[in-house]
Amino acid sequence: MTTLLRGAGVTVRFGALVACDAVDIDIVAGEILGIIGPNGSGKSTLLRALSSVHPPTQGSVFWHGREVTGWKVDKLARHGLVMASQNQMVFGGVTVREALAIAHSCRPKGKRIDEALAGDRLVALVGLEAVLDALASDLPLGYLRRLGIGIALAAQPELLLLDEPGAGLNDFETRELKSLLLTLRDLGVTVGIVDHDMTLMVSMCDRVVVLDAGKKLVEGPPQEVMKDPRVIEAYLGTPMEIAMEDRS
Amino acid sequence: MDLLMQHLFNGVVASSVYMLIAVGITLVFGLTRLINFAHGQFLVIAVFVALDLITAGVPFVFAAAAAVVAAGVIGWLSERLLFRFTMDNPYNGLIIGLGLLLVLESAAFKIWGGFQVGVPAAVTGGAGLGDTYFAWNRVLVLVVAGLVTAGLFLLLARTRLGAQLRAAHENPVAAAHVGVNVGRMVTVAFVAGSALAGLGGVFYGTLQPVGAFDGAHLILKGFAVALLGGLGNVSGLAKASVLYGIGETLVAGYGRAEYVPFFTYGVIIIVLLVRPGGLFEKHPPSDSTFARSSRGVARAERHSRVERLLGGAAFVLLPIVVFEAVGTSRLQSLVLLSVLYAIQVYALAYVYETTGVLSIAQGGLMAVGAYSAGVIAVHLGLGFWWALLVAVPLTVAAGALLGLVVSRCTGHYLLLVTLAFSALVTQLTLTAIDLTNGDNGLILPEKLPEIGPLTFTDLRSQFYLVFLVALLAAFGLRRFKSTRFGLQLSGVRENESLARSIGLRVGRAKVGAFALSGAVSAVGGVLYLYTQTVIVPTSFDAVFSIKIVIILVLGGVALAGPLVASMVFVLLPELLQLDPVDQQFLFGVLLIMIILLLPRGLVPALITGYSALRSRLLPARHPATATGRPETGGDAVRSPSELVREEIS
Ligand SMILES: Nc1ncnc2c1ncn2[C@@H]1O[C@H](COP(=O)(O)OP(=O)(O)O)[C@@H](O)[C@H]1O
Ligand SMILES: [Mg+2]
């Protein structure tokens, strides 16, 4: 069990607001780690801090044990840490085929390529065969998300961070997303995911971290965490089971 | 040392005027993310108005007031009639401003003539203190400008109107929700900013003479100050103006007046390279408006094969047809010239299409190519092949430098930076008289070489040579699109932050695009030199660069567009027998009209019109249906050709 990414005391301030408050977090090779918490609890901010999109105000980030705090996003991506956030996932004005070719061209020249994450196998993996010649900007949401993940995968990440990849998807699309992420884990890509869909998170994640008001509340196996009174408290006293049933 | 005191005093006085300009720029920018290129010309007009009135016997105070009102009215009109239509797309607003600048410059020339004039000082005399002379006029300028600026700060801080302005500045959407009329605030900012420019103009006119074509230079000065202070940051402006004003005065005082432009452009370029947020702030102001909407003009469209063939064959051959059809060698040489223009347009289009940056520095790059070739021909007697050997690497380096600066900044800075680059090169060619012969220009002693049996001494053979090179450039640059590098650039264009987040070195890619475009510019520049045989600095000045932009906007980026648009652009003024000033007026009007009426360009509009017609005549084909996972999306998946048709109709 090697720790891929470690955040130590990660703190992000926006003026007086402390969006992330001294969060310690480890992501271990080969796992799917979920980050959950109420709206505004700092999940997206944490992901952005870990991936250097918006570096932490205080605290450090380690990648393979090496301090990478404040590195440029692209450099971190070239070292294998890629984040895909829901609002900027795709290249808009080109076809899916071209978008993947572009993504392919962006990775560093000398990098070893995992064949499962390139070319036709990548297309098949994310299930985009049917829409290769459609304009990316006109794809239905489910395809759009998969293209976003496909683009991120073309960069050959060791760790893929995803911010709400399931937002707005219907049940079928959510199930597809889940099986894609599980396949990724089997292929050796570690995944860190933020999502509001508790059913998805509980059934898929190996471990979850719960944030509340910028602080880490608990972490552990999903089933256990969901029963933790502090977590229930954080979700406004709603027992998790009810919250989970509510959405279906 | 005593002279130093004098320079410092003069510098502070000058800075108070720059402060007035920069505050106006910042006011407008803060609310609209727009830099009005014509702002500097408002000063020029104020100078002329004030001078006319004073000459007619009106007392200084009233003449100055009238000039301020005139500038305010022009500002108000330009906002009402032009800029309000581009508020959702500041990039188009910038180009409109550029057009307005051209129009107002040529109008000022028509009305007031080409002489540099000053405004008689309000008060004469002064007092000496040691070796320093304090002219009363300068003291007056300093005091009044200081008071006006202070008054403005008070107004912003203390009054209801000020509060509304600040609210609209901070967050237009929220301000609108709490009842602030943001549109009205924009008008207020425009009028106030322009009036300040008017006052600044009157004062500036009492300090030094101003000519009809000084608007571009003045906006660059104001921009340099605004940038130094951190755009949109009003409090940084005071410090920035003093720094800039003193720096400029020292440069002029201890160096030569000709060096001042280098100082101005140097400040712009260096600040953007080193501290894009200005001297007093670490981060540049956010530029989200631009991230969304910077692709207003000449967007590459997807055409069907028929359209591409139509564009490709018919239009591409048009220059040949025209060249052979026009009888006189005068017209033929203009067709040749238009193809030389087209080469530059292809170079510019490449950068625009790949990086999304619409650069006004094409003249600058071309100048590097043409002048380096000219200099080695005149001074070293080296011919055409040497010219290519020297000009191409030099221009590639210049292009890379430009790309480096450009990749450090976003949106609103871009146009100004490239304009500064262009102006810098022009100033270099003007100043380095020993090498370039300054205003008198270089006359080429060399000829185009013979290639086997081919000679290029007559117009026809030169035309075909240049035409061939233009096509090679167009197709050659096109070929790069499918390479790894080309794909990376598509990534930058389509979604820069995504490309970065998956590991692309975005800056490097942009530098590469500019360098590649520089190579084409160089070849075009050398050919210009070898076919026109005379080059002067104004051949490649900012107005030339703007022309290239207009042609690009007119013709779009498609293969034939630049060729056709260049021909229209070069031949039309000749056929209408327009003098250069009328031409500039026409260019300005054209630029404004294209942006307002045909934001996608003229030639694409023609082609689009054709395909709209075609899709109405031909029955629609069956949509390609998606195989597999039909239940996923809901919407049926559409084929690209269908998408294109929808997009167009
Ligand atoms: N760029 C920003 N500027 C200011 N505040 C921000 C910014 N991004 C996030 N915040 C604030 O930080 C807090 C955490 O936000 P976020 O990380 O998006 O929460 P989550 O993703 O858990 O819903 C929120 O209160 C949000 O308003
Ligand atoms: Mg979020």
- What are B550-602's pLDDT values in tens digits? 888 777 766 777 888 888 888 888 888 888 888 889 888 888 887 787 665 55
Query: Which atom of ligand 1 lies at the shortest distance from residue A46's CA?
Result: 17
CA distance B406 to B50: 39
Nearest-5° angle of CA B565, CA B567, CA B571? 125
Cβ contact B243:B279 at 8 Å: yes
Cβ contact B83:B571 at 8 Å: no
**How far away, in angstroms, is A42 Cα from ligand 1 center?**
6
* pLDDT beyond 70 at B625: no
Catalogue the E-assigned strands of B438-563.
442-443, 534-535
CA distance B155 to B525: 52
Kindly indicate the confidence band of residue A185, based on its pLDDT and cuts at 50, 70 and 90.
very high
Check if B629 contacts A (Cβ < 8 Å). Answer: yes
> For residues B638 and B119, which has the higher predicted lDDT (pLDDT)?
B119
Check if B506 contacts A (Cβ < 8 Å). Answer: yes
Which stretches of B208-287 are DSSP H helices? 215-229, 234-254, 260-274
Cβ-defined contact of A151 to B632 (cutoff 8 Å) = no
DSSP per-residue string spanning chain A:
--EEEEEEEEEEEETTEEEEEEEEEEEETT-EEEEE-STTSSHHHHHHHHTTSS--SEEEEEETTEE-TT--HHHHHHTTEEEEEGGG-S--SSBHHHHHHHHHHHS-TT----GGGSHHHHHHHHT-GGGTTSBGGGS-HHHHHHHHHHHHHHT--SEEEEESTTTT--HHHHHHHHHHHHHHHHTT-EEEEE-S-HHHHHHH-SEEEEEETTEEEEEE-HHHHHH-HHHHHHTTT--HHHHHHHT-
Residue that the structure tokens 């300005």 belong to: B588
Cβ-defined contact of B634 to A103 (cutoff 8 Å) = no
pLDDT of residue A244: 56
Residues B316-324 have a mean pLDDT of: 84
Structure-block tokens of residue B131: 């070796």
Q: Return the closest-CA partner of residue B525 out of B398, B614, B414.
A: B398
Going from the C-alpha of B590 to that of each of B37, B110, B125, B559, B608, the distances in angstroms are 16, 18, 48, 21, 20
Which residue has its alpha carbon closest to ligand 1 atom 7?
A: A14
pLDDT of residue B141: 92
Ligand positioned closest to the Cα atom of A42: 1
Which residues lie closer than 8 Å to B114 by C-beta, 6 or more apart? B211, B212
Residues of chain B with pLDDT > 70, as a percent, come to: 84
> For residues B635 and B117, which has the higher predicted lDDT (pLDDT)?
B117
pLDDT of residue B239: 84
CA distance B260 to B246: 11
Cβ-defined contact of B506 to A103 (cutoff 8 Å) = no
pLDDT of residue B124: 83
Going from the C-alpha of A224 to that of each of A82, A202, A221, the distances in angstroms are 29, 10, 6
Q: Return the closest-CA partner of residue A162 out of A131, A200, A136, A108.
A: A200
Whether residue A19 has its Cβ less than 6 Å from ligand 1: yes
Is residue B127 classed as helix, strand or coil in its secondary structure? strand
Residues A166-182 have a mean pLDDT of: 90
pLDDT of residue B646: 33
Q: Which residues pair with A194 in a beta bridge?
A: A35, A163
Which residues lie closer than 8 Å to B321 by C-beta, 6 or more apart? none
Q: Read off the pLDDT of residues B219-256 as tens digits, 9 standing for 90 and up.
A: 888 888 888 887 666 678 888 888 888 888 888 888 88
Q: Which residues pair with A20 in a beta bridge?
A: A12
Is residue B41 classed as helix, strand or coil in its secondary structure? helix
Q: Read off the pLDDT of residues A42-81 as tens digits, 9 standing for 90 and up.
A: 999 999 999 999 999 999 999 999 999 989 999 999 999 9
Chain A partners of B499 at a C-beta cutoff of 8 Å?
91, 102, 106
Kindly indicate the confidence band of residue B452, based on its pLDDT and cuts at 50, 70 and 90.
confident
Averaged pLDDT score across all residues of chain A: 88
Cβ contact B591:B102 at 8 Å: yes
Nearest to B643 among A51, A138, A152 (CB): A138
Whether residue A43 has its Cβ less than 6 Å from ligand 1: yes
Query: Which atom of ligand 1 lies at the shortest distance from residue A194's CA?
Result: 21
Choosing from A12, A14, A54 the residue with most ligand 1 atoms within 8 A of its CB, the one to mutate for a pocket test is A14
Residue that the structure tokens 């977590």 belong to: A231
For the ranges B182-191, B197-206, B301-310, B324-333, which has the lowest average pLDDT?
A: B301-310
Scanning A53-92 for CB atoms below 8 A from B yields 53, 73-74, 77-78, 82-84, 88-92
DSSP per-residue string spanning B265-276:
HHHHHHHHHH-T
Residues of chain B with pLDDT > 90, as a percent, come to: 28
Sign of CA dihedral B332, B335, B337, B343: negative
Is residue B639 classed as helix, strand or coil in its secondary structure? coil
CA distance A40 to A19: 8
Chain B partners of A110 at a C-beta cutoff of 8 Å?
none
ipTM score here?
0.89
Residue B315: Cβ within 10 Å count: 22
Cβ contact B421:B364 at 8 Å: yes
Going from the C-alpha of A111 to that of each of A104, A184, B35, B484, the distances in angstroms are 11, 19, 43, 15
* pLDDT beyond 90 at B217: no
Residues B609-623 have a mean pLDDT of: 50
DSSP per-residue string spanning B604-615:
HHHHHHHHHHHH
| pTM attached to this predicted model | 0.78
Cβ-defined contact of B502 to A104 (cutoff 8 Å) = no
Averaged pLDDT score across all residues of chain B: 81
CA distance B82 to B525: 35
Q: At what angle do helices B39-55 and B90-112 cross, to 10 degrees?
A: 20
* Backbone φ, ψ for residue B443 (5° rounding): -110, 125
> For residues A191 and B602, which has the higher predicted lDDT (pLDDT)?
A191
